[in-house]
Amino acid sequence: MDEEYDVILLGTGLKECVLAGLLGVAGKKILHMDRNKYYGGESASMTPLEDLYSKFNMSPPPTDTGRGRDWNVDLIPKFLMANGLLVKLLIHTGVTRYLEFKCIEGSYVYKGQKIHKVPADEREALSSSLMGLFEKRRFRNLLVWINDYDEKDPKTYKDVPPNTRMIDAFKKFGLDQDTIDFTGHALALHSDDDYLEKPALETIKRIKLYSESLARYGKSPYLYPLYGLGELPQGFARLSAIYGGTYMLDKPADEIVYENGVVVGVRSGDQVARCKAVICDPSYAQDKVKKVGQVIRAICLLRHPVSVGTNASPGSIQIIIPQKQVQRHNDIYVCCMAQTNMVTPKDWYVALVSTTVETNNPEAEIRPGLALLEPIYQKFVSVSDLYEPIEDGTTSRLFISSSYDATTHFESTCIDILDVYRRYMGEPFDFSKVTRGLDADDNQEGAQ
Amino acid sequence: MTSNNRQTSNNSNANRSPVNGQSARTCQFKMVLLGESAVGKSSLVLRFVRGQFHEYQESTIGAAFLTQTVSVDDTTVKLELWDTAGQERYHSLAPMYYRGAQAAIVVYDITNADTFSRAKVWVKELQRQAAPNIVIALAGNKADLAAKRQIEVVDAQTYADENGLIFMETSAKTAMNVNDIFMAIAKKLPKNQDSSSGRTGNNGPSITVDRPGNSRAAGSDGGCCAGTK
């Protein structure tokens, strides 16, 4: 600790670990600390199961839950879009070589007390139970239009320029309210309806991301790492370590030390590690962040897969409950993983229900999600405050990431990562500059 | 300082390309290195993979995923060698490091008794965290410095026998027993298809995220014994 570092990172959540990896590759000298004795912070996967029970101040799990080490329980539910930003970062950094993924088997949406498979292409749309015959045609026309839409080619606009309000774009295709709901929430993955008043281009891009992601591996657009999401921060931490980053777990950060308003170090016990900048999650700089909302998450252990009606239940699944279906402002997300994802023992399932908190009785808000999971063997409910930094850090050299939001995938997480990177480096991250990929074999590089 | 006895050829595709032709079958294994800082983990790997030795090897930077292929009988055994990347220094090795490891070399320095006690802790850690059938070798490195020896061969041998470990004293500097210990592990690894096909076991194919346009399910190639199906 008695050296001087370019950056000290506090907390080994996914955001801080990706940044440690990117900055390590960029040649920065890094010290990365975490107060916990495990990697991942808020975005850890708890293992063994005993650690999850003790985190929630409960006595050890009953013996029928099997071997504790067979469990890897995510604290925050999210998926990777197969064609999304996190996958790009994984490929560009070569971290993908440490990980294996599986496709989430089913993508479903809740409508009229039932769950339906999300139709993602024209063919599926025509056989979907979500819409009547004429509506299917209109929906198909919308998908074809989006698929062809090219920002740079006005001919593809079909009279809907990029800055048209999305609600007007929907009207042009004559879609009814239910179809608008699942298109905006289950394909474009908006979590509320604010997007309807915003330019259509944003939603068009999101639907393209969904369908391109779906095209990669087939069953759904979502990827999920074997052994849980906690593998992601570990993989990026390894990248950072390979580039010389120093890792200390179980190391409290007692104080961020300033001189003239600028960060100069971090104190742990009676040691001070000196540095030119600190990057941390909000929990390490509570006086420099503001609360912007709350998320409720319920982790549920199940002895059965989530039922999808008549069809055989997929082991891994996402169900989106669009806000209008349950008279809310924000969607409720349900996901479930199983032994095939290496996160539970055989015949066990772990499901998470989450949403942005809107009332002072958050547990009541997620009831429609929990109802899809009954009977629930054990439930762990947490309500987390969401924080954002007060300042961008360019003056103080203290760069704080935002809390993990309620969204169901990592796109907003990556946007925040790239934003912290830009604030720290003074220039945006350039994907084309990173050469380390699958083509770069470690054998050709070598330690010196 | 550098002796370059043997140039190994490693092209960038070797890691992922399917087995060609009908010749020998290929099995791929993940092998991890463990041991205290400065016992010579990276030096052993660099000696084995590149035939190189650096007297003043710096702490591991930039290389932590080397591969080396050896032949055992009619089988090509591809070893994917994971270095700790220094994360052992403050007891901050991630669980990911142990996952799916089918072999491990636990290294100590024969001139430093502390590193031998720590090696025993690493063996316990492997028995706790890694797969039950993992092949573990104990390497007493820096055997060229026998004059400063603090750990007797017989003590290490007894410990290894009691715990079912392969044991050899090695020297990354002189190359003594370096190839031998890797070969001994390669011989002991199970070459049947079920036990050596990576992390997923029999749980269906997984996806290796790859460059756009290259997407495919892992397990269809590059896995164990692809040539024998």
Question: Does A87 contact B at CB distance below 8 Å?
Answer: yes
Measured distance CA(A395)–CA(A368) in Å, rounded: 46
Q: Which A residues, 364 through 393, put their C-beta within 8 Å of a C-beta on chain B? A: none
Confidence (pLDDT) at B63: 54
Distance of alpha carbon B203 from its chain centroid, rounded?
25
Confidence (pLDDT) at B17: 36
A447:B96 CB<8 A:
no
Q: Note whether A208 and A259 are same-domain residues.
A: no
B66:A437 CB<8 A:
no
Confidence (pLDDT) at A53: 97
Q: Note whether A206 and A172 are same-domain residues.
A: yes
Within-domain flag for A268: yes
Length of chain A: 448
Which among A217, A246, A275 is the end of a domain? A217
Q: Note whether A261 and A174 are same-domain residues.
A: no
Q: Note whether A153 and A204 are same-domain residues.
A: yes
Confidence (pLDDT) at B7: 35
How does pLDDT run across B5-33, given as a tens digit for each residue? 333 333 333 333 344 444 468 899 999 99
Within-domain flag for A9: yes
Q: Which residues contact A45 (CB under 8 A, 6 or more apart)?
A: A72, A73, A74, A75, A227, A228, A229, A230, A231, A343
Within-domain flag for A295: no
- Contact between B64 and B14 (Cβ < 8 Å): no
**In this structure, what token pair is assigned to residue B92?**
């901050």
Apex CA B130: angle with CA B125 and CA B133, to 5°? 120
Q: How sure is the predictor about B53, in pLDDT bands with cuts at 50, 70 and 90?
A: confident
Within-domain flag for A324: no
In this prediction, residues B175-203 reach a mean pLDDT of: 75
Distance of alpha carbon A19 from its chain centroid, rounded?
16
**CATH number of the CATH domain containing A258:** 3.50.50.60
**In this structure, what token pair is assigned to residue A140?**
């198909």
Decide the pairing of beta strands B166-169 and B103-109: unpaired
Q: Note whether A124 and A251 are same-domain residues.
A: no
Q: What is the pLDDT along chain A (448 residues), one digit of tens a residue?
A: 678 999 999 999 999 999 999 999 999 999 999 999 999 999 999 999 999 999 999 999 999 999 999 999 999 999 999 999 999 999 988 898 889 999 999 899 999 888 998 876 777 778 888 888 899 999 999 999 999 999 999 999 999 999 999 999 999 999 999 999 989 999 999 999 999 999 999 999 999 999 899 988 878 999 999 999 999 999 999 999 999 999 999 999 999 999 999 999 999 999 999 999 999 999 999 999 999 999 999 999 999 999 987 677 888 999 999 999 999 999 999 999 999 999 999 999 999 999 999 999 999 999 999 999 999 999 999 999 999 999 999 999 999 999 999 999 999 999 999 999 999 999 999 887 655 543 334 443 333 3
Q: Note whether A8 and A46 are same-domain residues.
A: yes
Buried (b) or exposed (e) across B7-42, using 16+ Cβ within 10 A? eeebeeeebeeebeeeebbbbbbbbbbbbbeebbbb
Q: Which amino acid is at A41?
A: G
Confidence (pLDDT) at B51: 87
The SS3 assignment for B139 reads strand
Q: Which residues contact A62 (CB under 8 A, 6 or more apart)?
A: none
Confidence (pLDDT) at B114: 97
Confidence (pLDDT) at A370: 97
**In this structure, what token pair is assigned to residue A156?**
């593809």
Q: Note whether A51 and A194 are same-domain residues.
A: no
Decide the pairing of beta strands A114-117 and A271-275: unpaired
- Contact between A170 and A145 (Cβ < 8 Å): no
Q: Which of A98, A244, A447 sits opposite B96 (nearest CB)?
A: A98
A122-126, B79-83, B164-168, B198-202: which is most confident: B164-168
How does pLDDT run across B102-148, given as a tens digit for each residue? 999 999 999 999 999 999 999 999 998 888 899 999 999 999 999 99
Q: Note whether A125 and A213 are same-domain residues.
A: yes
Provide the Cα torsion A158, A159, A164, A166; round to 10°: -50
Q: Note whether A50 and A180 are same-domain residues.
A: no
Q: Note whether A285 and A420 are same-domain residues.
A: yes
DSSP state letters, A377-423: SEEEEEEEEEEEESS-STTT-EEEPPPP-S-SBSHHHHHHHHHHHHH
Residue with token string 């062809």: A148
**CATH number of the CATH domain containing A162:** 1.10.405.10
B42:A246 CB<8 A:
no
Length of chain B: 229
Of B108, B78, B67, residue with least CA distance to B226 = B78
How does pLDDT run across B169-188, given as a tens digit for each residue? 999 999 999 999 999 999 99
Confidence (pLDDT) at A229: 97
What is the total count of domains within chain A? 2
In this prediction, residues B52-65 reach a mean pLDDT of: 65
pTM of the model: 0.88
Q: Which residue has the higher pLDDT, B217 or A365?
A: A365
Confidence (pLDDT) at A361: 97
Of A396, A394, A415, residue with least CA distance to A404 = A415
A60-to-A50, A51, A53, A55 alpha-carbon distances in Å: 6, 9, 6, 11
Q: Which residues contact A424 (CB under 8 A, 6 or more apart)?
A: A7, A19, A23, A277, A279, A393, A399
- Cβ neighbours of B223 in A, within 8 Å: none
- Cβ neighbours of B14 in A, within 8 Å: 441
Mean pLDDT computed over every residue of chain B: 78
Within-domain flag for A186: yes
Q: Min CA distance, A165 vs chain B (Å)?
A: 32
Q: Note whether A134 and A201 are same-domain residues.
A: yes
Q: Note whether A148 and A210 are same-domain residues.
A: yes
B65:A250 CB<8 A:
no
Q: Which domain holds residue A137?
A: 117-217
B96:A250 CB<8 A:
no
Within-domain flag for A241: yes
Which among A182, A217, A252 is the end of a domain? A217
Q: Which residues contact A35 (CB under 8 A, 6 or more apart)?
A: A11, A250, A251, A252, A253
Q: Which domains does chain B have, with CATH numbers?
A: 26-188 (3.40.50.300)
Measured distance CA(A363)–CA(A368) in Å, rounded: 10
- Contact between A344 and A70 (Cβ < 8 Å): yes
Within-domain flag for A348: no
Confidence (pLDDT) at A120: 64
Q: Which A residues, 278 through 317, put their C-beta within 8 Å of a C-beta on chain B? A: none
- Cβ neighbours of A90 in B, within 8 Å: 209
Within-domain flag for A88: no
Which among A217, A237, A265 is the end of a domain? A217
Measured distance CA(A296)–CA(A359) in Å, rounded: 11
- Contact between A350 and A77 (Cβ < 8 Å): no
In this prediction, residues B69-86 reach a mean pLDDT of: 90
Whether the complex's predicted ipTM is more than 0.90 is answered with no
Confidence (pLDDT) at B26: 86
Nearest CA in chain A to B94: A234
Confidence (pLDDT) at B196: 43
A226-to-A99, A186, A343 alpha-carbon distances in Å: 7, 24, 7
